[in-house]
């Protein structure tokens, strides 16, 4: 796990004539971007002698990237600058690598490179939008921001668009990228199935590289394991908080669990680590947490753990009745980690209900101590390797006579093979809960539909008359 690679300063050192030259906002980065876009547009106009859609795409890119550069200073960390995340670098590398592969494959079919650039732009924008919408749909409860019981619309909208904090789903990027590409192909009268055949292995190459970013980011982790190649993420990582939330490891000398009392769910002490500071402080199993108080910059700050209504008392095979989404108590553990970081030598106060009906509490003072993080399956590496293998398989299939004679077979094979591997890998991952009581994650549910679509398309194309692929330059001369 290596989330931040380095930082970009907000200003160029040293100051020129005593004036700070900003890098972002109305600064050097946007100026250089404008110059590059202007040069590309002028060059394109000089070659084509007309203002075409390609020039419009250049300015569309300028608007999108320029807007990101304008808001970049808001993402800066104090005294450090703009963090360059490992996930973002891998995502950019994945996009460029996929583009390079599509260009190589399209060159054999004599497709103009500028057309491929435009197609990939639509695919990337559609992919990012789809990946974010997929994440919002899956974790919409986490997007909601409440203060004093009231929904804060502005803060909620900020959470929705704040991609920098994380939140992209690969399946959403695939479906969004396919939809964006399809719109572009229809608008430009491109042959759909042959073009998707070219894009299929490139998408797998992009996923393979992108999953390395997941490893650096610490997301998409697997379940606890004792295999020799299991990896241990650092304390405070998503995998660690998942283990704490599910009572798999001690945190501050405590194991936690959800406990229902009447129609209310509490965060309770499941177990106390022997000889720990928590045991010495007097904490015991089955105590219900009310709040966490710690010192921040010399001032006490409190965090209310909160409660949740029991959704149903009916036994549920898929454990969906009491728990609808993950991360319910995770903010509490992140708050404890924040207190440890701000005041590592200070004790934290854990308020325990002495009478939860009367909301009366009793304080316990605990000195935080290190927590053990259990090894997990490196599912990010599994996913990366499987995607790389599928990329090679699709490239080989594209050279076989059967797949060369029928447009769309490579793309349908991509749908089938990826849905199978993704479904299997989801059984090892533990970062997603059951979706709508199906006993399967969201991605597994989507995999079922993608598999059915791929199988249907494959046999439909297989039973139709063979048609040699036509992606010659003459076929797109009217675009």
Is residue 129 within 8 Å of residue 181, measured between CB atoms?
no
pLDDT for position 478: 30
Q: Do 75 and 95 have their domain in common? A: no
**Helix axis angle, 53-71 relative to 28-48, nearest 10°?**
180
User: Which residue is associated with the tokens 């796990």?
Assistant: 1
Residue range 132-160, pLDDT digits in tens: 887 777 666 666 666 655 666 776 777 67
pLDDT for position 313: 37
232 within domain boundaries = no
Q: Do 425 and 400 have their domain in common? A: yes
β-pair type (360-366, 348-355)? antiparallel
12 within domain boundaries = no
Residue 41: alpha-carbon gap to chain centroid? 34
Question: The tokens of 93 are what?
Answer: 């590398």
pLDDT for position 351: 92
pLDDT for position 323: 37
Question: The tokens of 410 are what?
Answer: 């490579």
Burial 208-229 (b: 16+ CB within 10 A, else e): bbbbbbbbbbbbbbbbbeeeee
Residue range 392-451, pLDDT digits in tens: 999 999 888 888 888 889 999 999 999 999 999 989 988 777 666 677 888 888 899 999
Q: Where do the DSSP E strands lie in 143-247?
A: 146-147, 150-151
Q: Do 135 and 147 have their domain in common? A: yes
- Which of the residues in the chain have pLDDT under 70? 14-18, 138-152, 155, 159, 161-167, 310-328, 434-437, 465-479
CATH number for the domain that contains residue 299: 2.30.42
Q: How many domains does the chain have?
A: 3
371 within domain boundaries = no
Q: Do 195 and 86 have their domain in common? A: yes
Maximum separation of any 2 CA atoms in the chain, in Å = 81
Domain boundary among 321, 342, 366: 366
Q: Do 119 and 219 have their domain in common? A: yes
Backbone angles phi, psi at 132, to 5 degrees: -75, -40
Rounded to a whole number of angstroms, the distance between the first and last alpha carbons of the chain is 46
How many CB atoms sit inside 10 A of residue 471's CB? 19
pLDDT for position 145: 64
Q: How far apart are CA 462 and CA 456, in angstroms?
A: 10
Find the domain containing 275 and state its range. Answer: 238-366
pLDDT for position 56: 76
């Amino acid at each position: 796990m290596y989330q931040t690679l380095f930082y970009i300063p907000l200003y160029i050192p040293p100051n020129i004539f005593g004036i700070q030259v900003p890098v972002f906002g109305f600064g050097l980065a946007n100026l250089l971007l404008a110059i590059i876009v202007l040069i590309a547009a002028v060059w394109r106009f000089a070659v084509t002698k007309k203002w075409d859609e390609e020039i419009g795409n250049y300015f569309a890119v300028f608007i999108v990237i320029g807007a990101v550069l304008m808001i970049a200073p808001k993402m800066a960390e104090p005294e450090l600058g703009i963090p360059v995340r490992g996930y973002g670098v891998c995502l950019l590398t994945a996009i460029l690598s996929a583009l390079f592969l599509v260009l190589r494959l399209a060159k054999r079919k004599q497709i103009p490179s500028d057309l491929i650039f435009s197609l990939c732009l639509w695919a990337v924008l559609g992919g990012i939008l789809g990946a974010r919408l997929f994440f919002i749909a899956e974790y919409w409860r986490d997007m909601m921001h409440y203060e004093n019981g009231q929904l804060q619309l502005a803060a909620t909208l900020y959470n929705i668009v704040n991609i920098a904090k994380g939140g992209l789903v690969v399946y959403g990027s695939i479906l969004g990228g396919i939809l964006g590409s399809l719109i572009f192909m229809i608008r430009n009268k491109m042959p759909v199935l042959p073009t998707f055949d070219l894009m299929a292995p490139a998408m797998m190459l992009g996923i393979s590289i992108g999953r390395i970013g997941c490893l650096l980011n610490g997301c998409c982790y697997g379940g606890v394991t004792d295999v020799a190649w299991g990896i241990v993420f650092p304390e405070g990582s998503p995998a660690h908080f998942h283990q704490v939330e599910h009572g798999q490891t001690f945190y501050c000398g405590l194991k936690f669990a959800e406990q229902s009392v009447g129609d209310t769910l509490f965060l309770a002490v499941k177990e106390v680590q022997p000889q720990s500071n928590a045991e010495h402080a007097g904490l015991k199993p089955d105590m219900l947490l009310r709040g966490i108080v710690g010192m921040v910059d010399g001032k006490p700050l409190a965090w209310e753990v909160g409660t949740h209504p029991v959704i149903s008392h009916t036994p549920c095979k898929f454990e969906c009745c009491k728990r609808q989404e993950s991360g319910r108590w995770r903010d509490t553990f992140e708050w404890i980690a924040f207190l440890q970081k701000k005041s590592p030598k200070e004790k934290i106060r854990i308020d325990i209900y002495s009478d939860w009906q009367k909301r009366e509490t009793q304080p316990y003072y605990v000195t935080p101590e290190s927590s053990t993080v259990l090894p997990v399956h490196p599912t990010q590496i599994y996913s990366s390797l499987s995607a790389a293998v599928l990329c090679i398989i699709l490239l080989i299939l594209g050279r076989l006579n059967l797949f060369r004679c029928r447009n769309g077979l490579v793309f349908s094979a991509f749908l089938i093979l990826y849905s199978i591997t993704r479904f299997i890998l989801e059984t090892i991952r533990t970062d997603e809960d059951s979706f709508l009581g199906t006993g399967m994650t969201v991605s597994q549910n989507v995999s079922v539909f993608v598999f059915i679509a791929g199988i249907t398309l494959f046999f439909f194309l297989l039973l139709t008359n063979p048609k040699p692929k036509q992606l010659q330059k003459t076929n797109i001369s009217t675009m």
